[in-house]
């Protein structure tokens, strides 16, 4: 647990397991249990959620360039959070109003995208993608409008949009954990179905997969865990794009291996990036979203050049 206050690993373990409490220096327990531990757990939850959601979206769209935000989830969440800041909302149902508003508008965005894109009994991924781009642009414009009239609250919106774990607490962990855990677990259970989807919708249909229902399931679950992640930490870009790719190159395109690998490495990666953000120019803390973008953009450009050589695509 790295931070401005250097706490030896042995003391951290003693605090975690409540061993010899009389030997701890004053304040160490608060630092470990109320500041650093919820931040690490929340980082793991968000990292795993974005990585798994990215893997699922790439399977549904059969496109290695797909990310968890491809249908406008992040733009909807940004509008909800910005609206909460501008209105000066504090708490809703015991949780930060910014978190709740971001979560709700992320889900509303996905519903709008699907409702517009749906045609008859089916929905093409191309129509979903184009609708997502349009709705995302709409919410981005609304966010710009809110920023224009935000006044002294503009800085709050900017910090949220850049993404970070500095506001981590146990309430956010309790809000995020059940949504992310259940969503990821169900996606794990349907990993074989994702393999069928990669073969093409017609082939998957001939093999007995109810393609339209399964696409809706992926859309709901991936959007749910993405909304939960964005709601508590803002927009952290590229993680959901690069982690599935790296894991696909290491473990292959079989989703029974790819999903757990992406989940684990996504969690580790975000914890590591958050640690880097807090220490690289200490005592100033960089937004995590800036670092993930600096790491992700070169990798994304690499993918554009090497797309045809990617394993499984």
Tens digits of residue pLDDT in 67-103: 999 999 999 999 999 999 999 888 776 678 899 999 9
Please tell me the distance from the alpha carbon of residue 70 to that of residue 66, in angstroms, as a whole number: 6
Statement: residue 257 has pLDDT above 90 = yes
Q: Over the range 143-156, which residues count as b (16 or more CB within 10 Å of their CB) and which as e? A: beebbeebeebbeb
Tens-place pLDDT, residues 128-187: 999 999 999 999 999 999 999 998 899 999 999 999 998 889 999 999 999 999 999 999
Mean pLDDT score of the chain: 89
Q: Which residues does residue 122 pair with via DSSP β-bridges, in sequence order?
A: 119
| Averaged pLDDT for residues 279-306 | 85
**Are 86 and 244 contacting, i.e. CB atoms less than 8 angstroms apart?**
no
Work out the angle between the directed axes of helices 211-233 and 73-87 (0-180°, nearest 10): 40
How much is the pTM? Answer: 0.91
pLDDT at 11 > cutoff 70 = yes
Strand partners, 285: none
- pLDDT bin (cut points 50, 70, 90) of residue 217 is very high
Residues 307 and 246 sit within 8 Å (Cβ to Cβ): no
**pLDDT of amino acid 102:** 95
Contact 196, 204 (CB under 8 A): yes
Q: Is CATH 2.170.16.10 the classification given to domain 37-302? A: no
By C-alpha distance, which of 153, 26, 19 is closest to 81?
Answer: 153
d(CA 162, CA 146): 16
pLDDT at 2: 64
Q: Which residue has the higher pLDDT, 297 or 144?
A: 144
């Amino acid at each position: 647990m790295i931070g401005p206050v250097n706490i030896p690993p042995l003391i951290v373990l003693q605090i975690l397991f409540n061993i010899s409490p009389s030997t701890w220096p004053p304040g160490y327990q608060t630092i470990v249990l109320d500041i650093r531990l919820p931040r690490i757990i929340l980082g793991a939850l968000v990292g795993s959620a974005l990585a798994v959601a990215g893997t699922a979206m790439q399977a549904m769209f059969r496109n290695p360039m797909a990310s968890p935000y491809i249908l406008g989830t992040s733009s909807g969440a940004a509008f909800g959070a910005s609206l909460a800041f501008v209105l000066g909302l504090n708490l809703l149902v015991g949780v930060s109003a910014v978190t709740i508003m971001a979560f709700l508008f992320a889900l509303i965005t996905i519903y709008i995208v699907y409702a517009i894109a749906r045609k008859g009994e089916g929905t093409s991924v191309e129509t979903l993608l184009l609708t997502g781009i349009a709705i995302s642009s709409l919410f981005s414009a609304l966010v710009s409008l809110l920023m224009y009239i935000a006044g002294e609250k503009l800085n709050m919106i900017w910090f949220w949009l850049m993404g970070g774990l500095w506001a981590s607490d146990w309430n956010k962990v309790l809000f995020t954990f059940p949504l992310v855990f259940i969503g990821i677990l169900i996606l794990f259970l349907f990993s074989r179905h994702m393999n069928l989807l990669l073969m093409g919708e017609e082939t998957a249909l001939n093999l007995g997969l109810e393609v339209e229902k399964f696409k809706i399931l992926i859309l709901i679950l991936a959007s749910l865990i993405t909304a939960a992640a964005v709601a508590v930490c803002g927009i952290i870009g590229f993680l959901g794009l690069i982690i599935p790719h790296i894991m696909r190159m290491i473990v292959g395109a079989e989703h029974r291996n790819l999903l757990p690998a992406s989940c684990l490495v996504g969690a580790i990666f975000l914890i590591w990036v958050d640690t880097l953000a807090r220490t690289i120019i200490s005592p100033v803390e960089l937004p995590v979203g800036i670092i993930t973008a600096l790491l992700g953009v070169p990798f994304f450009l690499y993918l554009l050049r090497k797309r045809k050589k990617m394993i499984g695509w």
